[in-house]
Structure 1
């Protein structure tokens, strides 16, 4: 049976949260997907078709990314984003699940495991961010300037979409027009830059080692050998701090592992969840 797909938006914690829900009535397990910084559910486009045959899948655009709300009144801290995602799942009556977080989505996943260790059965961290400090004070102060969001927009435009994509994949031949359009789409909404300005001041530091060591949820870490965004050394340190974790390193792979190695990622996820 083909899983039923639904794309909806719910108002949670004062912001609109967009999600895509693939309900598999033949499975009793649910997987929640969280994308990375400056990304969206689009980054899981090659992994979802594999997962939804075995599990119910919920892919979430967490604010302010993708098709979710970009309110300037929302508090864009990891902790608040994590609580917002939990609120969405509770509104859908999903109380037990496995969670997969890529990059920044991995750090939000770790926050969820820390604040609500009862919810997720297992977690998969794909090139998860880790050990980052909060924004520096001068940058935080600058974010209050009336037109700082214009600076944020210009900074992203200067780096360029093509350059950014080349930085996150090892095999550059994967970059095509569909990929470029998919990652560009969320930034056609001007409000994203104002929300990113708010995120600069709201984002707290990543969870420290002493907190990570308290997490008891089994975790699978999957890393690209040539990750330039979150280097493999971060994965090795997370593996050391997370007491119940396993690390898998994919050769000839960069940061965007769901795009570059969907079949291998799916294989390791399924093995981990059924083991």
Structure 2
């Protein structure tokens, strides 16, 4: 009888020990803030203890551009554009709830409404009420949804490999990177909440892009460490289950603001054909496709991305009196 109970107890102890040994620990939020905030970093507090990390950089008298990052990223993804466009534009970037130094939302609301509330906090803090809004991937989805909800605030729209459009006829779902594949099932979501080895984050990042030259050890460390801030891993699973309300894709034609669509032709997260769908549905859109670029053009091709954005905004925001 004793052996009958002893063996299961030993197995349970071995499993518990292996779990404790292999489990990827959380990072310390204070240490992460010391490492990944800078002199431009500010924080604005909202309801339920929400504390949004943002940066207000560039020319304070320039046209404001507000930029929203994609899933599992942070405001750091926009720094290449800040360096290239900050001499002429005021550039406001923020880290969305469930990501980076902003951390999780206590109410676990990562819907459009929850993300828009964080954006509104930053807009109120910076005193901006009319601006250019841009976003990559998930941030692009939030951007065009926000333009639908608040057209009076949007001077122009920048959509970089933005999500939210349906697949075109005959298309299959994109292959997705390792992290998204794991988040697609309950076991994978549970696994990622406890086991997130650095190599897995690196693999996911490299599978997301086509140009890999900009990826270095410091960047991989940043993704890995910020992902492990308490609550962020759980938030990643929550976001995967959010209702993206696909019906709103039928309404993008209501957006009249001038819109620039920038897409990497090799994007395997949101196919380049989505740019065609946006263009067909939006009355004032224009498209630029980058050969050999994947899902993150502002980091894979920052010079070209900055130049195209600058030329577009110079053209569409120029007062009529200055038009030749």
- The 2-side partners of 1:132 and 1:156 are apart by 30
Instruction: Give SS of 1:194's match.
Output: helix
The alpha-carbon deviation at position 265 of structure 1 amounts to 0.4
Instruction: Give SS of 1:248's match.
Output: strand
Instruction: Give SS of 1:228's match.
Output: coil
Task: Map 1:1-275 onto structure 2 (within 5 A).
Answer: 6-14=40-48, 15-25=50-60, 27-131=61-165, 150-153=190-193, 157=197, 160-206=200-246, 208-275=248-315
187-196 or 38-47, larger mean C-alpha shift? 187-196
More helix by share: 2
- The 1-side partners of 2:79 and 2:160 are apart by 15
Instruction: Give SS of 2:101's match.
Output: coil
RMSD across aligned positions (CA): 2.6
Determine if contact 1:114/1:215 at 8 Å carries over to the other structure: yes
Specify every segment of 5 or more residues in structure 2 that has no aligned partner in the other structure, as ranges: 1-38, 168-184, 316-324
- The 2-side partners of 1:252 and 1:202 are apart by 31
The alpha-carbon deviation at position 19 of structure 1 amounts to 0.2
1:132–1:72 CA distance, 2 compared to 1 (3 A): farther
- The 1-side partners of 2:65 and 2:219 are apart by 24
- The 1-side partners of 2:163 and 2:195 are apart by 21
- The 2-side partners of 1:106 and 1:78 are apart by 11
Determine if contact 2:165/2:277 at 8 Å carries over to the other structure: no
Spell out, residue by residue over 1:42-98, the C-alpha distance to the aligned partner (whole angstroms, 9 max, x if none). Answer: 211211101111111111101011111313314110133123302320232111111
1:11–1:148 CA distance, 2 compared to 1 (3 A): farther
Normalised by the length of structure 1, the TM-score is: 0.86
- The 2-side partners of 1:192 and 1:241 are apart by 35
75-84 or 244-253, larger mean C-alpha shift? 75-84
154-163 or 167-176, larger mean C-alpha shift? 154-163
Structure with max Cα Rg: 2
Instruction: Give SS of 2:152's match.
Output: coil
The alpha-carbon deviation at position 39 of structure 1 amounts to 0.5
| Number of residue pairs the alignment of both structures matches | 261
Instruction: Give SS of 2:257's match.
Output: coil
- The 1-side partners of 2:52 and 2:118 are apart by 8
Determine if contact 1:42/1:182 at 8 Å carries over to the other structure: no
The alpha-carbon deviation at position 158 of structure 1 amounts to 9.7
Determine if contact 2:211/2:293 at 8 Å carries over to the other structure: yes
65-74 or 217-226, larger mean C-alpha shift? 65-74
1:34–1:117 CA distance, 2 compared to 1 (3 A): same
Normalised by the length of structure 2, the TM-score is: 0.74
Instruction: Give SS of 1:223's match.
Output: strand
The alpha-carbon deviation at position 149 of structure 1 amounts to 5.7
The alpha-carbon deviation at position 163 of structure 1 amounts to 1.5
More strand by share: 1
- The 2-side partners of 1:17 and 1:150 are apart by 26
Determine if contact 2:166/2:274 at 8 Å carries over to the other structure: no
The alpha-carbon deviation at position 262 of structure 1 amounts to 0.5
- The 2-side partners of 1:194 and 1:168 are apart by 21
Spell out, residue by residue over 1:161-214, the C-alpha distance to the aligned partner (whole angstroms, 9 max, x if none). Answer: 222122122123332212212322311213112223333444433453321111
